[in-house]
Amino acid sequence: MTYAALPRPLRPRALAPGDLVVIASLSGPLDIERVPDLEQSEAVLERMGFRVRRAPLLEAGRQHWWSAAPSAEIAAEFNTLLRDPEVRAIIAHDGGNTVLGYLDLIDVDAITADPKPILGYSDISLLHLALYARTGLVGFHADLATPGLGGYWQAAPGTRRAELEKLYATLLTGTEPIGELPASPSWECWRAGRTEGRLIGGVLNRVALVQATRFALPLERFDGAVLFWEEKGGQAAHVWSYLQVLRHSGVLDRISGMVVGVPCEIDGLGAQGTPSLTELVLDVLGDRDIPVLGNVEFGHAVANLPMPVGVQVDLDAKRRTLSLLEPATQPLRTG
């Protein structure tokens, strides 16, 4: 199949040792009992060679409904970070249910003038998808600070932590392709095949939601793409329904491959009389003969492999490999 040429991705500028990374409450609040995890995440980033600062709204006990602050305040702080030349990367402290409230308040001109890595998953998927749609920005679907770097990473074996630290640091500072992401025995071939395409995705319910807004990705952006997704909570039937939304909207007819993360807390998945996640996915795909790689380590249940939105990848489901063919960042400006 031949696809039309797509816009070039806008790669953030690579970080250098000593650059400032800011942890921000881009969605949910910081619970007091999670402060030790936040401190652990700061230590991880410092070991990678970066300076770390907390944004003002990242304050234990600060809360407005289910958010760290009203949407307009979060947007104002986010825009301040985007405009500040000292800030070289922004990592979300946690996910939540807030980003839909300020998608229309983001200073996209600041992003195009000085593109920076924005890291996070869950609700932060909305930022990655909407900003990729509006500016081409490569978003880093990667671990959140508190539950990820300060949580799952700390519970992982030392060799795994070291592997992840090296991988993240290389992705943020390097300007050469990473190549194959480190696979594990958990990866499963659900449908054999090989393809190349741009990574697009995030938490499944947010992928479906953003497509219902004016910040949706144009359908042609999915031409030949490798769709990656994961999901937390709800029912197996909800996952099936979200995938059906993507089928009806035409997304599944355009992609060339799929990568599925580790499911988390989904009721009725693989129980008596209900489908496994594999069966559910293949049921929705029907006769679409595209490679599908399942149970890959990203999402709410595991320490995340980074999945940079907009980067060209090679997917070989039979061999159970996923390779980043392009860098996620561009070289630093000189002069």
The contacts of residue 5 (CB under 8 Å, 6+ apart) are none
**Rounded (5°) CA angle 107-113-115:** 85
| Residue 300, CA distances (Å) to 123, 194, 202 in order | 11, 27, 11
Over residues 311-334, the pLDDT tens digits come to 999 999 999 999 999 999 999 764
> What pLDDT score does 2 carry?
46
pLDDT at 251 over 50: yes
39 tagged catalytic: no
Active site residue 300: yes
Q: Are 22 and 50 in contact (CB under 8 A)?
A: no
Q: In what order do the strands lie in the sheet with 20-24?
A: 51-54, 20-24, 87-92, 118-120, 139-141, 307-309
* pLDDT value at 4 more than 80: no
Q: Does residue 7 carry a pLDDT above 90?
A: no
Is the pLDDT assigned to residue 132 strictly greater than 70?
Answer: yes
pLDDT at 5: 57
pLDDT at residue 199 is higher than 60 = yes
Catalytic annotation present for 122: yes
pTM value is: 0.96
The answer to whether the beta carbons of residues 116 and 82 sit under 8 Å apart is yes
Token couple for 326: 């392009």
Catalytic residue (choose from 42, 67, 71, 230): 230
Q: Which tokens go with 330?
A: 């561009």
Average of per-residue pLDDT across 94-113: 97
Mean pLDDT within 58-81: 96
DSSP 12-62: PBPP-TT-EEEEE-SSS---GGGHHHHHHHHHHHHHTT-EEEE-TT--TT-
Tokens matching residue 315: 């997917």
Q: What is the mean pLDDT of the chain?
A: 95
Q: Which of 25, 122, 125, 256 is catalytic?
A: 122
Could you report the per-residue pLDDT of 204-220, keeping only the tens digit for each?
999 999 999 999 999 99
pLDDT, position 335 = 43
Q: Structural domains in the chain?
A: 20-173 (3.40.50.10740), 179-324 (3.50.30.60)
Q: Look at residue 333 in the predicted model and tell me its pLDDT.
A: 65
The active-site residue, picked from 93, 128, 141, 300, is 300
Query: Is residue 267 very low, low, confident or very high in pLDDT (cuts 50, 70, 90)?
Result: very high
pLDDT single digits (tens) 147-182: 999 999 999 999 999 999 999 999 999 999 999 999
Structure confidence at residue 157 (pLDDT): 95
**pLDDT band, very low/low/confident/very high, at 75 (cuts 50, 70, 90):** very high
Quick check: 305 pLDDT over 90? yes
Q: Name which of 6-15, 102-111, 256-265 the model is least confident about.
A: 6-15
Pick from 94, 82, 78, 90: nearest CA to 119: 90
